[in-house]
Amino acid sequence: MAKNEEYVRKPEWLKIKLNTNKNYTGLKKMMREKNLHTVCEEARCPNIHECWAVRKTATFMILGRVCTRGCRFCAVQTGLPTEIDWQEPERVAESVEIMGLRHAVVTAVARDDLKDGGAGVFAETVKAIHERNPGTTVEVLPSDMKGDYESLHTLMDAKPDIFNHNIETVRRLTPTVRSKATYDRSLMLLKRVKEIAPDVPTKSSIMVGLGETKEEIIEAMDDLLEHNVDILTIGQYLQPTRNHLKVERYYEPREFAELRKIAFQKGFQHCQAGPLVRSSYHADEQVSEAAKARREQYEEHYMKNPS
């Protein structure tokens, strides 16, 4: 973007209410003490104040803070990652316990330098959270792991409660928006999850405002449904810096409401759509009924036997 080119002015409905109460500052302090990273901070999520200060939730980003890919929409640092930290899963699990989370989301930078794409650390993190927090449901949001299905099996063997992988945009824009990822490989990854674990809800996300058409969004919905995806989130793309893709236009709240209505009409089990919606937005509401029942049974047992 040229130096004299201005950002597209943000509309009124994209203003974010800041809230830095003790929950927010306490979580930030704990993340630094545990040497943990969150996608909330690294990707400059607009919901960080709501999630940290009000809902007291966070999305953990494992495998370091340096990504091997350079997607043109993402603010996460790109470069050569450091070594694997095998103590990280236990630190994440301990933090989940301290925070008292009912639902934990675990994502990661893309680690194309690793043969398994980081699936081993992902699996250990899921196991550690479940072992230390039996009543907590866990959602995973990995990269496509270069389409390696052995790595996918490694992750799914850890029994996450939701599998989330984002196609990010429509087919036509994928080569421009995403780095080293393909539209069809992402779809096949989501489909393979259902073949491995039919009862685990699958989820994906689309950003709008990058130049896609309504027809292309609907086509992406159809593609996801054809690959057995249960949950869809749709949010407004926000340009993190001048070095990233610019916003072509801002969608109005009524347009998001219409897209959400279409998603339900087409058959998605759950859909969140709105200007500030991101893939982990209100993720605790999207687990399967079986997972909710397990969580509620544990909470009931704990209330009766707190020791």
Long-range contacts of 146-149 (CB under 8 A, 24+ apart): 146/112, 146/117, 147/185, 147/188, 147/189, 148/115, 148/116, 148/117, 149/192
**Residues in a beta bridge with 236:** 208
How many angstroms separate the Cα of 40 from the Cα of each of 27, 106, 269? Answer: 12, 11, 26
Residue 74 known to bind ligand: yes
Residue 71 known to bind ligand: yes
The pTM of the full predicted model, rounded to 2 decimals, is 0.84
Tell me the fold of 16-304: pyruvate-formate lyase- activating enzyme (3.80.30)
Task: Give residue for tokens 């270069």.
Answer: 146
**Which H/E stretch holds residue 257?**
helix 253-266
Report phi then psi at 14, rounded to 5: -100, 5
Contact partners, residue 18, CB within 8 Å, separation at least 6? 49
Determine the Cα–Cα distance for residues 109 and 80; give it in Å rounded to an integer.
11
Between 102 and 122, residue with greater pLDDT: 122
Q: At what angle do helices 183-196 and 149-156 cross, to 10 degrees?
A: 40
Is there a contact between 14 and 275 (Cβ–Cβ < 8 Å)?
A: yes
Token pair of 114 as six digits = 């690793």
**Strand duo 66-67 + 59-62: pairing:** unpaired
Kindly report, residue by residue over 37-50, the tens digit of the pLDDT: 665 554 455 556 56
pLDDT band at 8 (very low <50, low <70, confident <90, very high): low
Determine the Cα–Cα distance for residues 62 and 110; give it in Å rounded to an integer.
10
**Strand duo 137-141 + 162-164: pairing:** parallel
Give the count of beta carbons closer than 10 Å to the beta carbon of residue 91. 18
Determine the Cα–Cα distance for residues 247 and 210; give it in Å rounded to an integer.
6
Kindly report, residue by residue over 45-69, the tens digit of the pLDDT: 555 656 655 556 668 889 888 888 8
Give pLDDT, residue 23. 60
Q: What are the DSSP calls for 192-231, one per residue?
A: HHHHH-TTS-EEEEEEE-SS--HHHHHHHHHHHHHTT--E
Residue 40 known to bind ligand: yes
Average pLDDT, rounded, for the chain? 84
Determine the Cα–Cα distance for residues 42 and 21; give it in Å rounded to an integer.
20
Token pair of 201 as six digits = 């809800």
Residue 51 known to bind ligand: yes
Give pLDDT, residue 176. 93
Domains of the chain: which residue ranges? 16-304
Residue 271 known to bind ligand: no
Kindly report, residue by residue over 173-213, the tens digit of the pLDDT: 999 999 889 999 999 999 999 999 999 999 999 999 999 99
Determine the average pLDDT of the residues in 62-86. 80
Give the count of beta carbons closer than 10 Å to the beta carbon of residue 148. 15
Determine the Cα–Cα distance for residues 201 and 178; give it in Å rounded to an integer.
24
